[in-house]
Amino acid sequence: NVRLDKGWTVTYKGEKTGVGSLVNYTFPKKLMRGDSLILENRISANQLAHPIFRFRTVHSAVEVFENGKSVYEYGGDRDFPGCGYHHVHLSHGENQKLKLVLVNKIDNRKITISKYELFSEEYAVSDYSSHHIFALVIGIFLILFGVLAVLVGAVMRIYGVNYFRLSMIGVLSFTFGTWTMCYTKLIQIVSYNLTLNTTLEYICLYFSPIPFTLLLWNMQRTRLSQSKTWVMKFLVAYEVAYLAVSSVLHFTGLLFYPQMLVFFHAVVFAGLVYFVYSGILYNKKMDESGKILSRGVLFFVVMVVADMLRYNFARHLAIDNPLLESSWIPLGTLGFVFSLVQSYVVYLVYILEDRAEKGALATMAYLDALTGLFNRAKCQQIFDILDKSFGDYAFVSIDMNGLKMVNDKYGHNEGDKLIKIFAGLFKEAFAGVGTAIRVGGDEFLAIVRSEHVADVNDAVKKMVDL
C-alpha cells in the first residue's frame, strides 16, 4: 500500500489551508449540515497495477475527482450517508490531481480525516480484514453463539427448564456481535450499503441495554425490594421508549442516531451507577453467579473506557500504531459474554443441585425409614389418585402376629429385625404386581391396579412360600 498523508490542502468556504499530515487530522472548525470541505493533492498511481484509493468517511457525502473528472460519488442523495470505507478505482499514471469534496450531513460536528491509501485492486478489501482479523473472529463467534443460545433456550422452554437467562444471553451476544461487525466496518464484507450498516450499528447499541437490564432483573428478582422492582420496570420501559423515540426521530430525519449518542452514554452511565449503588450489580450477599456477571460487566466497562482513551490518544497525538488502530471493545464484549455464560452455568448447577435436593427430600417424605417401603403418606397419595380414576383395583392388607410379644421379651431391636425381614419378603412377593407399603407398626398393605388384579392370588402364595 502507498500512504497519502502529505501534501494536502483543505479548502473551507474559499479559504485554503495546507496540512502537514492527514494522520488522524481533525478539521478545527465545526461544520453545519450542508457545509463542505475540499481536499486536494497530487499523487502518483503508477506504482501499483489497477490502483484503488481507499478512505473512510463519517456521516459525510463524498465525491472524488481525478484530473478534474468525477470518478466516484456516494451519499449526495442521502440525508444520512452513514460511516464506512470507500474503494475508488483510479487511473494508472504520474502526478495526477486528486480532489475530494466532503459534504457534512449532520449539524455542528467536526470532520476527522482517516488514512488515505492506495492499494492494488486484489488487496484493497483483504488488507483491511487481515488487520482486523481478531474483531472479525469475535464478531462472527458472538453472532453464531447468540443464535445457538436462543435456539437452546427455546428447546429448554419445551422441557420446562428456566430458559429466560440463556435466551437473554443469546440476544445480548447476537446484538454485540452484530454491533462489533458494524462498528469495525467489517460488515462491508457482506454489505456495502453504509447507511444500512451504520443504522444497524446504532440500533444494536441502543437496543443492548434492554436485554441487559432484563437479565439483571431476572437474576436479582428474589432479592429486590418493591421499590427497586419498580425502578427496574421503569428502566426497561424507558430503554424501550428511548429506542422507539430515537428511531422515529432518525427515520423522519429530525434528529439522527449519532446526535443522540451523548445523551445515551449519560443515561447508560447513570444506570450503571444506580446498579452498583443499589447493590443490584454487585453486593457481598450475591451468589457466585451474580458475582461472575458483575466481574464481566466491570471488564466490559474498563475496556470501553480504555478504547475511548485509545481513540483520543491516537487522534490528538497523531500516533500511527497498529495496536492503537484497532478497537478494544470487541475484546471487552467477548469477555463480557464469556462471563455471562459462566454465570449461567453456575446458575444451572445451583438449580440442578436444588432440584436434586428437593427430589431427595420428597422421596424421603414418602419412604419408611426402617424398611425402605413406601409409607402411609404415599399410601394416601395413591388412594387419592385411584379415587379420581374409573379403573378397578385391589389391595392386600396384612399385619404381623406376635410382634408385641417379641418386642416385650427380646427388645425392640429384635422386633425391628422381624419387620425388616418381612418387609423384604413382602416387597419381593408383590414386585411387578402391586405397590408394597408399610402403613405403620406391624401393618402392611399392597395396592394392586386393575391390570394385575388377576395376579393377586399368585403374589400372596409367593409371599407365603417365602
Q: Residue 149, exposed/middle/buried by CB under 10 A (0-12, 13-18, 19+)?
A: buried
Distance CA 227, CA 150 (A): 31
- How far lies 419's CA from each of 91, 363, 416, 439, 465, in Å? 102, 21, 5, 12, 17
Alpha helices in 366-401 (DSSP H): 376-387
What pLDDT does residue 129 have?
Answer: 79
Check: CB of residue 117 under 8 Å from CB of residue 4: yes
Read off the C-alpha cell for 169: 444471553
Distance CA 70, CA 64 (A): 6
Distance CA 112, CA 114 (A): 6
- How far lies 274's CA from each of 263, 267, 294, in Å? 17, 10, 14
| Strand partners of residue 341 | none
- How far lies 175's CA from each of 180, 184, 238, 456, in Å? 9, 14, 19, 64
Per-residue pLDDT of the chain (466 residues; tens, 9 = 90+): 788 888 899 999 989 988 888 876 788 888 888 899 999 998 887 777 788 899 999 899 999 999 989 999 999 889 999 999 999 998 877 778 999 999 999 888 888 787 888 888 877 777 887 878 888 888 899 999 999 989 988 887 777 666 788 888 889 889 989 998 998 888 988 888 999 999 999 999 999 999 989 988 887 777 788 888 898 899 999 999 999 999 999 999 899 999 898 888 888 888 888 887 888 877 777 778 778 878 887 888 788 777 777 766 765 555 555 556 666 777 887 888 888 888 888 887 887 888 788 877 777 778 888 888 888 888 888 888 888 877 788 989 999 888 889 989 999 899 999 999 999 999 999 998 889 999 888 899 999 888 888 889 999 999 999 9
What pLDDT does residue 175 have?
Answer: 93
Is the whole model's pTM more than 0.75, yes or no?
no
What pLDDT does residue 437 have?
Answer: 92
What pLDDT does residue 243 have?
Answer: 94
Give 144-169 as a DSSP string.
Answer: HHHHHHHHHHHHHHHTT---HHHHHH
Check: CB of residue 421 under 8 Å from CB of residue 357: no
What pLDDT does residue 198 have?
Answer: 95
